[in-house]
């Protein structure tokens, strides 16, 4: 019995067992606790799911995207006028947009 107590006492004097083990226990137990609290949020939420009709009524229905091909994108780019353009400097973070517009005109 004395051997076990002396070994236990020598382990409790080490920094890892005094600080590291409680820290690891806190991290692992905290993650499980946070999981339970997060689950409560979704379990007792008053928000319901939208039906298809409600989504259409509120305008939340996603439209089916058009098929994008290399040829259609090439036609869009070919239609652009790249010869006539004007270089316009955007405002700096410390400048007001109205100051920049006045300075360029």
**Does position 94 have pLDDT exceeding 60, yes or no?**
yes
d(CA 95, CA 103): 11
What is the widest separation between alpha-carbon atoms in the chain?
A: 93
- Domain boundaries along the sequence of the chain: 1-44
pLDDT score, position 101:
58
d(CA 41, CA 58): 25
**Does position 100 have pLDDT exceeding 60, yes or no?**
no
pLDDT in tens, 25-83: 999 999 998 998 888 877 777 777 777 788 778 777 777 778 889 999 999 999 988 88
50 contact partners, CB below 8 Å, separation of at least 6: 58, 60
């Amino acid at each position: 019995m004395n051997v076990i107590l002396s070994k236990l006492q020598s382990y409790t004097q080490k920094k890892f067992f005094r600080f590291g083990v409680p820290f690891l226990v806190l991290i692992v137990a905290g993650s499980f606790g946070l999981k339970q609290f997060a689950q409560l949020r979704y379990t007792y939420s008053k928000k319901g799911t939208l039906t298809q009709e409600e989504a259409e009524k509120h305008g939340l229905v996603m439209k089916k995207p058009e098929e994008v091909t290399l040829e259609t994108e090439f036609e869009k780019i070919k239609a652009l006028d790249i010869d006539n353009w004007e270089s316009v400097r955007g405002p700096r973070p410390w400048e007001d947009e109205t100051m920049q517009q006045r300075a360029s005109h």
